[in-house]
Amino acid sequence: MKLVDILKTENVKIPLKGKTKEEIIEELVDLIAASDPEVDHEAVHQAILDREKTMSTGIGQGVAIPHGKTEGVEELIGAFGIAPEGVDFDSLDNEPTHLFFLLVSPVGPAGPHLRCLSRISRLLNREEFREHLIKAGSPEEAVKIINDEEKQYFEIN
């Protein structure tokens, strides 16, 4: 499964307007709910917040991957946003977060959810990719950058 298979262009926002962790999460959940009327906005929002209570999904290096599982969705869905100014997301390195990839999946087998989280983490671990992605000027450009990186990275490794 490729990230671009679950990431619709309409679920990408550049720039994100939120200034807090909660506002960023709300903004990304709003994108998902607006693009799919079957999504239970409140259930998705609560699942993400509940996961954040366990431990921040701000993994450092300017990246956060808020995620959760809920009956509020029928399939694995993603949203992505960029906050050029950076947001305090309680990251492990205490640095501002710029790149946000939200992932939500239905309750059930963890395999697809974990594989997608792993794929996101591996891609965003590459500094050159993060630097390229943060400069994306539109949702279309961001999705193209992600798609190109997936092709290159996963064909080589």
What residues act catalytically?
A: 67
φ, ψ at 37 (rounded to 5°) = -65, -15
Q: What is the pLDDT of residues 32-85, one digit of tens each?
A: 999 998 899 999 999 999 999 999 999 999 999 999 999 989 899 999 999 999
Amino acid at 115: R
* Token pair belonging to 139: 């949702």
Q: Give the closest residue to 76 by CA, choosing from 133, 41, 117.
A: 117
* Token pair belonging to 115: 């594989």
CA distance 41 to 74: 13
Burial (0-12, 13-18, 19+ Cβ within 10 Å), 139:
buried
3-class SS string, the chain: CCHHHHCCHHHEECCCCCCCHHHHHHHHHHHHHHHCCCCCHHHHHHHHHHHHHHCCCEEECCEECCEEECCCCCCCEEEEEEEEEEECCCCCCCCCEEEEEEEEECCCCCHHHHHHHHHHHHHHCCHHHHHHHHCCCCHHHHHHHHHHHHHHHHHHC
User: Which CATH number belongs to the domain containing residue 43 in this structure?
Assistant: 3.40.930.10
- Residues 121-126 have a mean pLDDT of 90
How does residue 155 score in pLDDT terms, banded at 50, 70 and 90? low
Quote the number of domains for the chain: 1
Tell me, what's the pLDDT at 108? 82
C-beta separation of 62 from 83 below 8 A:
no
Range of the domain at 140: 3-156
Mean pLDDT across the chain, nearest whole number? Answer: 92
Percent with pLDDT over 90 in the chain: 78
Tell me, what's the pLDDT at 2? 84
How does residue 4 score in pLDDT terms, banded at 50, 70 and 90? confident
Tell me, what's the pLDDT at 157? 46
